[in-house]
């Protein structure tokens, strides 16, 4: 659980006190929390770890939650900027910040709130991490271990987690913006700069490699719980980094202990809080993501709790409202639940009841593409795959009837969910989609615990962030690139858990990397930062992510019936894929001219 008040104080400490030279002339107030006071012992460093994790957790929070630059009040998560508008999803909303997610050529803006806020947010993580790394070397720190070995372990753990966070932030920065300023020292009033340059991605990746190797060496593969950074996470991202660097041999070596060890495994049997309900092992992974629930698959979870269960408040996340469709806006679906006893009695309205019996409110910011849905039918297996079954995808809308029973809501005896592409969706002269009968993933479902809040956007459930299934598919990619025939075995482990038919070596040889990208879409829909993956493989061997024949643009054209339409830019080499360097940063960097990314 994240305590908002303490985090607010810590963040003020990190990002405000160190950059004002006047602070050096003031007396040192010991009754307030300043970096000099906080980072004096191991307890203080643990508090900073909590603050940095809270910042990382904002990937699943609203991109506008800092309220700067006149940002919108629409609940879309930062993650959607990387997960939506690719081959497997398009934005179902027409706000100006989202339009590039359904009309890719509209990315050509350098002042979008979502991109400026994301750039700033990631550098806050870099700055906080640098502060920890730098100040941990102070010999006066009381590491509270009781002896030299324990003191050293506490110090190295603090540094390792901060170095992991820095590499994690630069992963997002380089995949999003390309070459960006590299900062590895604490910024203070004495070294504040306005002459930053864009460091080559290759140079940044060398620092990321060093950071992740240090984290692997100093952190256990499996931590005491999966709400803290572990060696497993460092191995996962280092393996991905080596693939990006064109070194599948090192990728295979660093991932092997994680995928072959006994510490983690895919969950193949029902378990956890949802086990007694209709479902499957795949969706149980999301309903009960913690180690304490018996989950051995989730490497990292963002911990959360409902506000009524929190002592000082809790921070909402918005994965659900981003990826769940806005069913209450549909003319037919909004007529459901009219006979529910609570609605008839006036306790709540029928719209709140709709969301209470259908996994929580959606806001339709991101929708799955038809092409990605068809991928589940690989080898004509239809709905056999658990990942596209009614357990994991919305194919039915439910209502409470007059008897208080939950039943399917039908129109003329049929499901109201519909994948018919309307004329408005493919009208390139219009700036609206807003199809509210579309299926969506159930991975992020959360029903408000207080019925009166049934139509709230926020979610307070624990959020899966990184799973072993993702690691298996990275490992399979490394093996494939090494021409190792066992690559199919790791893909089949993922497929077979969801009852999907096995693939063969011939299948993989015939489709190549596309088959692995297909499987990543099937397994990691809405979890994966899909944009990162497609940019990574498009840039292999010096490739240009803007090239019309790379994996990014080819797959968008092939699988996304909205973003891939010819008029929307994915057949045009001038349309950028990397985000623009925010204009506000370019303008403020007065000591050196910053070159914008091509295409802007």
pLDDT in tens, 191-202: 778 999 999 999
Report the alpha-carbon distance of residue 530 to residue 172 in Å, rounded.
12
Neighbours of 67 (CB within 10 A): 12
pLDDT over threshold 90, residue 387: yes
Q: Alpha carbon 55 to chain centroid distance?
A: 13
pLDDT of amino acid 37: 84
d(CA 270, CA 436): 32
Give 180-243 as a DSSP string. Answer: B----S---TTT--S----B-HHHHHHHHHHHHHHHHHHS-SS-SSTTS--HHHHHHHHHHHHH
* Integer Cα distance of 490 and 256 in angstroms: 11
For position 27, what pLDDT does the model report?
41
pLDDT, tens digit (0-9, with 9 covering 90-100), for 116-127: 999 999 999 999
Q: 482-485: list long-range contacts, CB under 8 Å, 24+ apart.
A: 482/248, 482/249, 482/252, 484/252
Query: Where does residue 504 rank: exposed (0-12), middle (13-18), buried (19+ CB within 10 A)?
Result: exposed
148-177 and 231-244 helices cross at what angle (nearest 10)? 40
Question: Containing H/E element for 336?
Answer: none
Read out DSSP for 393-436?
Answer: B----EEE-TTS-EEE-EETTEES------TGGG-TT------T
CA distance 79 to 84: 8
3-state helix, strand, coil in the chain (%, to 5): 45, 5, 45
Q: Dmax over Cα atoms in the chain, in whole Å?
A: 76
Mean pLDDT of 37-47: 94
**For residue 599, which phi and psi values (nearest 5 degrees)?**
100, -5
Distance CA 240, CA 170 (A): 13
Separation of first and last alpha carbons in the chain? 41
pTM above 0.85, yes or no: yes
The model's pLDDT over 142-192, given as tens digits with 9 standing for 90+, comes to 999 999 999 999 999 999 999 999 999 999 999 999 999 999 999 876 677
Q: Inform me whether the pLDDT recorded for 240 exceeds 80.
A: yes
Q: Provide the pLDDT for residue 34.
A: 62
Q: Rounded to an integer, what distance in angstroms lies between the CA atom of residue 184 and that of residue 130? A: 6
Handedness of CA 129, 132, 135, 139 (dihedral sign): negative
For residue 436, name the pLDDT band (cuts at 50, 70, 90).
very high
User: What pLDDT is attached to residue 297?
Assistant: 98
pLDDT at res. 425: 87
CA distance 486 to 37: 54
The model's confidence at residue 4, banded by pLDDT at 50, 70 and 90, is very low
Cβ atoms of residues 63 and 117 within 8 Å:
yes
For residues 463 and 301, is the Cβ–Cβ distance under 8 A? yes
Residue tagged 């593409």 (tokens): 369
| Tokens describing residue 337 | 């639940």
pLDDT in tens, 61-70: 988 754 455 5
pLDDT in tens, 320-341: 999 999 999 999 999 999 999 9
Written as six digits, the tokens of 351 are: 């719209």
Which of 2-16, 295-309, 485-499 shows the highest mean pLDDT? 485-499
CB contact at 8 A, 340 and 404: yes
Both tokens of 157, joined, read: 């753990």
- Domain boundaries defined on the chain: 1-69+112-189, 315-459
Beta bridge partners of 300: 466
- For the segment 358-365, the average pLDDT, to the nearest whole number, is 94
> Which is higher by pLDDT, 506 or 2?
506
User: Residue 187's CB: how many other CB atoms inside 10 A?
Assistant: 18
pLDDT value of residue 95: 76
Count the Cβ atoms, other than its own, within 10 Å of residue 46: 15
> Rounded to 5 degrees, what are φ and ψ at 550?
-85, 175
3-state secondary structure 477-494: HHHHHCCCCCHHHHHHHH
At 599, list the tokens.
Answer: 């295409």
> What is the reported pLDDT for 19?
37
pLDDT above 70 as % of the chain: 91
Q: How confident is the model at residue 98 (pLDDT cuts 50, 70, 90)?
A: confident
């Amino acid at each position: 659980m994240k305590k908002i008040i303490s985090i607010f104080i810590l963040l003020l400490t990190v990002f405000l006190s160190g950059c004002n030279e006047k602070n050096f002339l003031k007396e040192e107030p010991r009754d307030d929390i300043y970096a000099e006071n906080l980072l004096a012992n191991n307890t203080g460093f643990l508090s900073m770890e909590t603050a940095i994790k809270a910042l990382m957790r904002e990937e699943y929070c609203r991109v506008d939650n800092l309220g700067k630059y006149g940002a919108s009040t629409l609940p879309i998560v930062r993650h959607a900027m990387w997960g939506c508008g690719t081959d497997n999803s398009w934005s179902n909303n027409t706000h100006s910040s989202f339009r590039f997610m359904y009309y890719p050529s509209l990315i050509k803006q350098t002042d979008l709130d979502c991109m400026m806020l994301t750039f700033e947010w990631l550098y806050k993580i870099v700055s906080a991490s640098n502060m920890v790394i730098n100040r941990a070397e102070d010999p006066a720190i009381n590491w509270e271990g009781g002896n030299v070995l324990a003191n050293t372990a506490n110090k190295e753990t603090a540094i390792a987690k901060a170095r992991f966070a820095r590499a994690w932030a630069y992963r997002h920065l380089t995949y999003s913006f390309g070459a960006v300023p590299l900062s590895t020292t604490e910024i203070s009033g004495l070294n504040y700069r306005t002459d930053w340059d864009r460091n080559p991605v290759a140079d940044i990746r060398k620092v990321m490699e060093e950071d992740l190797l240090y984290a692997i060496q100093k952190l256990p593969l499996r931590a005491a719980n999966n709400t803290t950074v572990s060696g497993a996470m460092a191995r996962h991202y280092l393996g991905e980094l080596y693939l990006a660097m064109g070194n599948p041999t090192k990728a295979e070596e660093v991932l092997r202990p994680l995928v072959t060890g006994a510490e983690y495994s895919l969950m193949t049997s029902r378990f956890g809080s949802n086990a007694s309900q209709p479902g499957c092992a795949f969706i149980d992974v999301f309903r009960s993501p913690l180690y304490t629930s018996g989950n051995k698959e989730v490497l990292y979870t963002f911990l959360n709790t409902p506000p009524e269960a929190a002592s000082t408040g809790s921070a909402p996340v918005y994965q659900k409202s981003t990826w769940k469709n806005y069913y209450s806006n549909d003319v037919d679906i909004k007529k459901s639940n009219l006979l529910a006893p609570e609605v008839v009695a006036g306790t709540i309205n029928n719209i709140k009841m709709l969301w209470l019996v259908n996994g929580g409110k959606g806001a339709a910011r991101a929708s799955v593409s038809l092409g990605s849905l068809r991928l589940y039918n690989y080898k004509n297996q239809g709905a056999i795959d658990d990942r596209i079954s009614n357990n994991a995808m919305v194919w039915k809308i439910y209502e409470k009837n007059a008897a208080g029973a939950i039943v399917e809501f039908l129109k003329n005896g049929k499901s109201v969910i519909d994948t018919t592409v309307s004329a408005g969706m493919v009208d390139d002269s219009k700036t609206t989609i807003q199809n509210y009968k579309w299926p969506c993933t159930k991975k992020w479902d959360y029903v408000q615990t207080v019925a009166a809040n049934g139509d709230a956007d926020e979610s307070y459930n624990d959020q899966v962030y990184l799973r072993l299934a993702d690691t298996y598919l990275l490992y399979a990619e490394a093996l494939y690139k090494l021409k190792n025939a066992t690559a199919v075995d790791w893909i089949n482990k993922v497929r077979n858990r969801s009852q999907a038919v096995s693939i063969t070596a011939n299948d993989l040889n015939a489709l190549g990397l596309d088959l692995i990208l297909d499987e990543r879409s099937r397994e990691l829909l809405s979890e994966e930062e899909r944009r990162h993956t497609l940019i990574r493989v498009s840039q292999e061997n010096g490739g240009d992510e803007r090239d019309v024949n790379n994996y990014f643009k080819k797959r968008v054209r092939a699988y996304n019936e909205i973003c891939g339409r010819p008029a929307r830019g994915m057949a045009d080499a001038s349309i950028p894929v990397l985000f623009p360097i925010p204009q506000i940063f370019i303008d403020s960097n007065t000591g050196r001219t910053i070159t914008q990314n091509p295409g802007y």
